[in-house]
Structure 1
């Protein structure tokens, strides 16, 4: 079995191109690096480097190990962070990573309930769109991830994670208040075929293109942003229209923008995700309970 310290040193030699540079990067002496590489070669039973003049060159076995070294070190790092996360969770400290509209709606309501009932729990709030939020969870960079998915575009949930479905979020269309269709309660997407559009995050944009294709047209997307405040200002300024989830309507604060129900109805699924082994920890359960309660007050849950 390879020693992880030797793998780390080997990876640094490959990355920097020499024993001397690797020693400088790792804070070792050059002889210490040489000794670790020799120890790794004894463990492997084969030579990993040859010299080509002054340069180090990987042997065929070295190239094979180099392909695996980054993955091995990445997995070790993730494992270390996940174990450390368990210690933090047992101490009542939770890192919650959510997408912007959830951070502006569900999370504040959940945290208010949590702090009122359990003031000893401490929450660190992070922000990321899916799938980045789930990747951060798997990497041990957060403890709970809030994410969303669209019908027909759901990815497989990794086996390490548990999904807790919270609510369905109906999509709406954002219009300038003076738009001819703003007087209606609902607007059919096909009626807006000639409009200019502002698209959101990559996942939202992909869903929007899919829905428009079902309605028989390709939208003219002139601007892209995942900043909800910028989105409202762009709509108000007449740059284009936008499709936004109902969660955004609860903090729609631009007096020149209004939201209307979009037809056909499209709903995104909002869920919380947690590592399976962290699910039973008290701090995790308390935060999840708060998120469930906040989601239950929303239309469409």
Structure 2
């Protein structure tokens, strides 16, 4: 097999016209250059240089290898430039998977910023299949406990968990509900209400159930729907109350009111599951920063102001 480095030495000799000049250009001794050419000739099985006056010139085989060395040299230079651009975050591709309700308020503004800062990087953006990380993606948005990324628990299946945002749940009540005039509702006050389940089994539902347990009760799920818009329809029809995360309230039913919760406030914590190797890429780190800074629950979709404030609010 031909050694690429020795081919570049041959190219230097042919270009300069002598072993001595090539050695000076390469920073080698003439004997080292001659040794490299000798080994290359053994690899090629044919003479590559011949004496010509005080210097040397390539044989047909030497000229052939020199031409290929030129091509290889250009390709290596192009590869080095491309690699430098990738290391600097100027080019490349980032594969991102996300769940639908994080799209409008989290992913969209983050991606808009990322494209301004990294215009040469392509983003492969798709809805995630299932609640777990996609091992083929650089970044997958997932819901995990708030402290999942702390105290050494920041890995999952070889992926690093990076906290992005906390998405608080809101109480969705039918208009005319006894708490409709409140700005804030204590979670325990909803213990005796029939509930419309808006979450399927998984980390989002876990966040709701854990908050209810902390408030001292288990919700009575009267209707299961596992979808935020449909849950609002059931609430509007008077079939119960529901809890929906703020990011899931993009389209509000006209016959419901949305109120903050406390004691405690349920929160689903959104993380990025990131491939360890991808964390070394500036483009991926830039995208994570954009995601972390995109979401502000106090500046987005504030609940409509109440008509009056109850003395108990």
Question: TM-score with structure 2 length normalisation?
Answer: 0.57
Contact 2:185 2:259 in 1 (8 A): yes
Which residue is equivalent to 1:247?
247
Contact 1:209 1:218 in 2 (8 A): yes
Contact 1:129 1:147 in 2 (8 A): no
Q: Which has the higher helix share?
A: 1
**Residues 127 and 241 (structure 1), Cα distance of their counterparts in 2 relative to 1, 3 Å cut:** farther
Counterpart-to-counterpart distance in 2, 1:210 and 1:193: 13
Contact 2:140 2:274 in 1 (8 A): yes
* Aligned pairs for 1:1-301 within 5 A: 92-128=92-128, 132-134=131-133, 136=134, 138=135, 140=136, 142-150=137-145, 157-158=155-156, 160-199=158-197, 200-202=199-201, 203-249=203-249, 251-264=250-263, 265-295=265-295, 297-299=296-298
What secondary structure, in the 3-state scheme, does the structure 2 residue paired with 1:181 have?
coil
Greater shift in the superposed pair: 146-155 or 201-210: 146-155
**Residues 183 and 189 (structure 1), Cα distance of their counterparts in 2 relative to 1, 3 Å cut:** same
Contact 1:146 1:271 in 2 (8 A): yes
> Structure 1 segments of 4 or more deviating over 6 A?
152-156
Give the CA deviation at 1:236. 2.1
Give the CA deviation at 1:106. 0.3
**Residues 263 and 288 (structure 1), Cα distance of their counterparts in 2 relative to 1, 3 Å cut:** same
Give the CA deviation at 1:102. 1.0
Give the CA deviation at 1:219. 1.7
**Residues 163 and 218 (structure 1), Cα distance of their counterparts in 2 relative to 1, 3 Å cut:** closer
**Residues 128 and 237 (structure 1), Cα distance of their counterparts in 2 relative to 1, 3 Å cut:** farther
Post-superposition CA distance 1:100-158 (Å, at most 9, x none): 2211210111122223333333323333487x332x2x3x1x22011222358897632
Give the CA deviation at 1:272. 1.5
Greater shift in the superposed pair: 221-230 or 108-117: 221-230
Post-superposition CA distance 1:65-98 (Å, at most 9, x none): xxxxxxxxxxxxxxxxxxxxx9xx9963322222
Over alpha carbons, which structure has the higher Rg? 2
**Residues 220 and 257 (structure 1), Cα distance of their counterparts in 2 relative to 1, 3 Å cut:** same
Counterpart-to-counterpart distance in 1, 2:158 and 2:90: 19
Contact 1:232 1:252 in 2 (8 A): no
Contact 2:90 2:121 in 1 (8 A): no
Question: TM-score with structure 1 length normalisation?
Answer: 0.59
Number of residue pairs matched by the alignment: 206
* Unmatched runs of 5 consecutive residues or more in structure 2: 1-85, 300-313
**CA-atom RMSD, angstroms?**
3.0
**Residues 226 and 298 (structure 1), Cα distance of their counterparts in 2 relative to 1, 3 Å cut:** same
Contact 1:97 1:133 in 2 (8 A): no
